[in-house]
Structure 1
Amino acid sequence: MEREKPTNFTKGNTIIGIPLYNSEETIASIILSCKKYSDEVVCIDDCSTDNSAEIVKKTSATLISHTENRGVGGVAKTFFKYAKTKNASIVVLIDSDGQHNPEDLPKIIKPLLDNKADLVIGSRFVRGGGSKDMPTYRKIGLKMINLVSKLHSKQHVRDTQSGYRAFNRKAIDSVRFENEGMKSSLEILESISDKGLRIMEVPTTIRYDLKHTSILHPIPHGISVFSYALTTLSQKRPFLVFGLPGLIMVTIGALFGLRTINRVSEWTGVTVGPGVTFVWIGALGIPLLVSGIVLQYVKRVLNDSINK
């Protein structure tokens, strides 16, 4: 017996987007499950080398094919562009490899239908969520990315890297895509947050015990996303990134300098090491401190001019 669709599901046009890359073993069942909760299922094939695209053609899903591999951000960009042409009121992104459970779609879509959120994220890190067999190094990497993201974001999102997301029309129109790689995961959140839209996380379990779940190596992926998060933090809170470390370095340098001065005052046992340390730490710290203060002021001036 087919599961009932969410309450008021037929009010609006809900389109589910599935980024597709070499998922011939799972894509058919994912499409079938998603169809129950949507008006249209769209698969964006990012140059698969297996039979994934051919399988999609045999289903009721819409197939859009890239001529070159553009990554997660490029797929999302293509999907949102298509959804706008179809005047979608709700769009959902869900993976094609089975990591995301399509049966969680009703609870991910419902807050949008109830007007309680503009973006809903299927989260591993809220109460009731989980990650089956997630490697420890991934957990550590995600925690670091989430921490840096939290420092510059207006909203606290616990799972910034979850690709299981649902957007209403306001969010669809607010999302920007300047990056086509994995950096887009943070860029999307940033654009939604900057517009003052509401973000909600609902619990879901993401599986890591499946074969062929991700083609991305976690280390370069993590470094890429973390560097983007750090760059964004430096733009939004420059004093925290430049000024505070600069102040700390100047303070440490001053302490070494005072120690040297004390030695000199005794006229014996003058130690050159701390004096040299004072010079190079101060030489690094003072420019960082000044940069942090200046950039913070520039940011405030720009914000004031934009808001006028």
Structure 2
Amino acid sequence: MKKLSIIIPAFNEEKTIHLILNKIKETVLPKNITKEIIIVDDCSTDKTAQIIETFCNDNPELTVIFLKHTKNSGKGKALQTGIKKATGNYTVIQDADLEYNPKEYKILLKPILDGYADVVYGSRFMGGNPHRVLFFWHTIGNKFLTFLSNLFTNLNLTDMETCYKLFDTKLLQSIHLKENRFGFEPEVTAKIARIKQIRIYEVGISYYGRTYEEGKKINWKDGFYAIYCILKYGMLRLK
């Protein structure tokens, strides 16, 4: 029996955290794969933590690890905390909102289970799955960041900034991650690209994006910081 560790960083997600946890609970994985849910509350100031605790108490049959930060430190730091605790054979990143559908874990797992991949990215820009129509400049920004990342990593990804990244857990835990906030995506991409004989695949996924009124947090400042991280970790690769 193999295990999938699902890491959920959460900060002030009281409107959606119970919904995504129930979706994960209901998601059926491939045969002989079990779930380990690791939730890291990044010092939320709303009812996120209480809702998570209620979910844990109501679902004792599930393997749930609930961790709390005493200081708000950012998504990247929450992921670092969760990654250290992962005991599954594979690890997937899951945002606490409803932009990504846990039912698609099967799509992400397939290249790894078939023996082709060590890392799988879920691309919002390929395949025929549903995509909510939202912000033109966000799309341009994401594609530019992916292009810039590819320039330094020599990968041909279509969506470096995607949340849905699935890793061989031992591989992920062997990487020393430093970025505490939204620099996680370019940092982890640059660092896995440096690993010899790494097998990276992309699969098309759906995307149910949300507006800022609905709780979206990332903004233009995070985009500029992502450029900084791409250059920072890309330059290290070229040395």
TM-score by length of 1: 0.68
Larger RCO, structures 1/2 (Cα 8 Å, 6+ apart): 2
* Runs of 5+ consecutive residues of structure 2 not aligned to the other structure: 57-63
| Stretch deviating more after TM superposition (32-41 or 113-122) | 32-41
1:188 counterpart SS class: helix
Show the counterpart of 1:24: 14
Show the counterpart of 2:39: 43
Are residues 101 and 139 of structure 1, via their aligned partners in 2, closer, same or farther at CA, if it must alter by over 3 Å?
Answer: same
Mapping 1:1-308, distance limit 5 Å: 11-35=1-25, 36=27, 37=29, 38-60=34-56, 61-83=64-86, 87-129=87-129, 131-196=131-196, 197-209=198-210, 211-216=213-218, 218-237=219-238, 299=239
Conservation of the 8 A alpha-carbon contact between 2:190 and 2:234: no
TM-score by length of 2: 0.86
Conservation of the 8 A alpha-carbon contact between 1:15 and 1:92: yes
Separation in 2 of the partners of 1:121 and 1:185?
A: 11
Q: How far has the Cα of 1:17 moved from its partner?
A: 1.1
Are residues 200 and 134 of structure 1, via their aligned partners in 2, closer, same or farther at CA, if it must alter by over 3 Å?
Answer: farther
Conservation of the 8 A alpha-carbon contact between 1:155 and 1:193: yes
Q: How far has the Cα of 1:170 moved from its partner?
A: 4.1
* Runs of 5+ consecutive residues of structure 1 not aligned to the other structure: 1-10, 238-298, 300-308
Q: How far has the Cα of 1:191 moved from its partner?
A: 1.6
Are residues 236 and 188 of structure 1, via their aligned partners in 2, closer, same or farther at CA, if it must alter by over 3 Å?
Answer: closer
Q: How many residues align?
A: 224
Instruction: Output the amino acid matched with 1:109.
Output: L
Show the counterpart of 1:277: none
Separation in 2 of the partners of 1:169 and 1:23?
A: 26
Larger Rg: 1
Separation in 2 of the partners of 1:165 and 1:31?
A: 18
Conservation of the 8 A alpha-carbon contact between 2:95 and 2:163: yes
Identity score, percent: 28
Instruction: Output the amino acid matched with 2:214.
Output: H
Conservation of the 8 A alpha-carbon contact between 1:130 and 1:203: no
